[in-house]
Amino acid sequence: MSDEPPVTLAAIILSGGESTRMGKPKALLDFGGKPAIARILETARKAGVTKFLVVVGKHAEAIQKGADLAGCTILVNENPERGQLSSMQLGMSKLDFATDAAFLWPVDCPLVKPEDLKALAQAYVKGRTALMRIFLPVNGGKRGHPMLVDIGFRQPFMELKHGQNARNVIEANPTQVQEVPVNNTGVLLDIDTPEDYQVAVKVFESMKG
């Protein structure tokens, strides 16, 4: 029996931010000789994801030069100052119903493992008959990234207004949200500052050991 889920999965990689606090594109942060975005793509492929949408903004040119994005659809967010919501909506708007579900994956969460994605996908396969539509990885009682969203449930995300975020959809639809326990603390990491990056590198080194 294959480990790959019997569904068609996409990954929307949110890399349209301005990285003002970091001072350089988070997509190109080095982890073991590979940029963060390359690690994300590698992890997603190992988990059976077949469609990749990379949303870029101000740093579009640098990211495309600095990482191998072969096989990805590149989407340029013309309004990155509107924040991550605008990147998420741009990515979701480009998915067709040949895709069952999509991971919404901020590029500053590169330490997710294939096993985490497979756990989310397996929960999705079991949960959609029970009308579950949003699947969140949880470690130590805390919700992390990436979330997996049923494509048939994207409209509430598309209707969010400036200043709102995915949490608004989650809070408005609690009966359609399923938490999926995973062992990897990497799902909780958000890298916004150089200090966050140093912490993430230490976690990455410990994961290799």
At 156-203, the pLDDT tens digits run 999 999 888 999 999 999 999 999 999 999 999 989 899 999 999 999
CA distance linking residue 40 with residue 183, whole number of Å: 18
pLDDT at 4 exceeding the cut of 60 = no
Q: Which residue has the tokens 């995300």?
A: 157
DSSP for 116-130, written as a single string: HHHHHHHHHHHHGGG
pLDDT for res 20: 76
Tell me the average pLDDT across 11-27: 87
pLDDT tens for each residue of 116-156: 999 999 999 998 888 899 999 999 999 999 999 999 999 99
CA distances in angstroms from 202 to 13, 65, 103, listed in the order given: 23, 27, 25
DSSP 80: G
Residue 172: HSE in the Cβ half-sphere, 13 Å Cα cutoff:
11
* Residues 87 and 80: beta-carbon distance below 8 Å: yes
- Phi, then psi, of 202 in degrees rounded to 5: -65, -40
Alpha-carbon dihedral 33, 36, 38, 44, rounded to 10 degrees: 130
pLDDT for res 209: 58
Collapse the DSSP code of 151 into the 3-class scheme (helix H, G, I; strand E, B; otherwise coil) and give the result. Answer: helix
* Residues 186 and 202: beta-carbon distance below 8 Å: no
Strands (E), the chain: 9-15, 30-31, 34-35, 51-56, 73-76, 101-106, 134-139, 142-143, 147-150, 177-181
In percent, the amount of the chain with pLDDT more than 90 equals 80
* Superfamily for domain range 9-208: Spore Coat Polysaccharide Biosynthesis Protein SpsA; Chain A (3.90.550.10)
User: Residues with Cβ < 8 Å from 29, sequence gap 6 or more?
Assistant: 22, 35, 36, 108, 110, 191, 197, 200
